[in-house]
Amino acid sequence: MLCTHGHVDHIAASGELKAATGAKIFIHERDQWLVDDLPNHCRYLNLPAVEPPEIDSYFHEGQDLNLCDVDFEIIETPGHTPGGVCLKMEEHLFVGDTLFHLSIGRTDLPGGNYDQLMTSIRQKLLPLDDALIIHSGHGPDSTLEIEKSRNPFLAER
């Protein structure tokens, strides 16, 4: 499982999936604290507490990862969380909660930083190919071209 960040809605089921399938869990090391605090985040949201999953490996900037003959490029995009990453695979970019169709990830949760998120988007994502298909953690898909031209958060570049 390639986890773009450590928020509860993105990792809560990973331990159970790992137990059922033997899949390995990857995340950026800077989000380990969110994984470790998973039971508290569940309780805060009135969800049943979930034990933190054991992380098998950490992502690193520029890392090329090959899983099942599929190549992924790891792009560090802190801001939504300190360890946020995007995963580039061919013409696809899995952005987690870094970027949404016509919006961006929230930064008001612990570890979030608006200026850092905007720097990540501007320096790491916007220079990429406009034709990349953006897959976010929530909402419809988009393209980098659409986000560059229509996303109000990216209007002032």
Percent of the chain with pLDDT over 90: 94
Tokens coding 105: 């990830």
Taking only the tens place, the pLDDT of each residue in 50-71 is 999 999 999 999 888 998 899 9
pLDDT of residue 148: 95
Return the pLDDT at 155: 83
Q: Note the pLDDT of residue 26.
A: 97
What mean pLDDT comes out for the span 137-143?
97
List pLDDT tens digits, range 17-50: 999 999 999 999 999 999 999 999 999 889 999 9
Whether pLDDT at 76 is above 80: yes
CA distances from 143 to 16, 18, 70, 82, 89 (A): 32, 31, 21, 24, 14
pLDDT digits (tens, 9 = 90+) for 101-126: 999 999 999 999 999 999 999 999 99
Give me the CATH topology for the region 8-154: Metallo-beta-lactamase; Chain A (3.60.15)
pLDDT band at 156 (very low <50, low <70, confident <90, very high): low
Indicate the SS3 state at residue 57: strand
Main-chain dihedrals φ then ψ at residue 121, nearest 5 degrees: -65, -50
The H or E element spanning position 144 is helix 144-150
Residue 46 is which amino acid? N
Q: DSSP code of 97?
A: T
Q: What confidence score (pLDDT) does residue 25 get?
A: 98
pLDDT number for residue 39: 95
